Homo-oligomer: A and B are copies of this chain.
């Protein structure tokens, strides 16, 4: 087992399948409701059905896919309410991370957070969407790590990745870079002066704005179930 599979790095075949499929889901390449046929996936990745099945099982355990016994798996469909609940949770989780970060970040962590944040101002000026997006991810990760709580970190990362497909919406909002930077600035300032309450509130607000943008725009429309003959018009 070496350079066999194309797009994946390492680990067992099952791990590779999990990553490959999860990736296609969170990047939106596979749309909610889309059927995940074991045979096709197996053929697609040139493995047998066994590892594909295991991967689907794991993905369903973490909520990315939905399994209907004897009826195959589909990319998890999130209802409008569930989406809202995830965004709200995300706000609370980010708030916790920010609060903890304000209280617990080491000197080094604070410094590099501040520095990177300042550096990102440049990207805003230049309108470097892609670079800023990359920075943004890193920025939030810093907050999650800065909380110095593994479990919260994990919950937050997991929730964030499940929301990934729905955050693409905000991309098209005009002036969002500047706005995002402003909000980051409030968070960073609060953290730097150790104001946990303010940091928490700012982080929550930051998310809820993303949330609204996503809600308005793109609810990544799910794939319609194939209509059978009887339903044809």
A residues with a Cβ closer than 8 A to B are: 11-12, 14-15, 18, 50, 53-54, 57-63, 69, 81-82, 85-86, 88-89, 92, 96, 149-152, 154-155, 159
Contacts and interface: CB of A to CB of B under 8 A. Distances in A.
Indicate how many identical chains form the complex. 2
Nearest to A149: B85
Contact of A58 (B11, B50, B58, B85): B58
A85 B54 contact: no
Contacts of A11: 69
A155 B57 contact: no
A219 to B, nearest CB: 16
A20 to B, nearest CB: 15
Nearest to A79: B150
A65 B128 CA distance: 43
Given A54-B57, A88-B149, 5 more contacts: A18-B61, A57-B61, A61-B62, A92-B96, A155-B159
B155 A155 contact: yes
A86 B151 contact: yes
A182 to B, nearest CB: 26
Contacts of A15: 69
Contacts of A92: 96, 152
19 contacts: A11-B69, A12-B69, A14-B57, A15-B69, A54-B54, A57-B58, A85-B149, A85-B150, A85-B151, A85-B152, A86-B151, A88-B149, A88-B152, A89-B149, A89-B151, A89-B152, A89-B155, A151-B159, A155-B155
Nearest to A87: B151
Contacts of A152: 85, 88-89, 92
Contacts of A57: 14, 54, 57-58, 61
Contacts of A86: 151
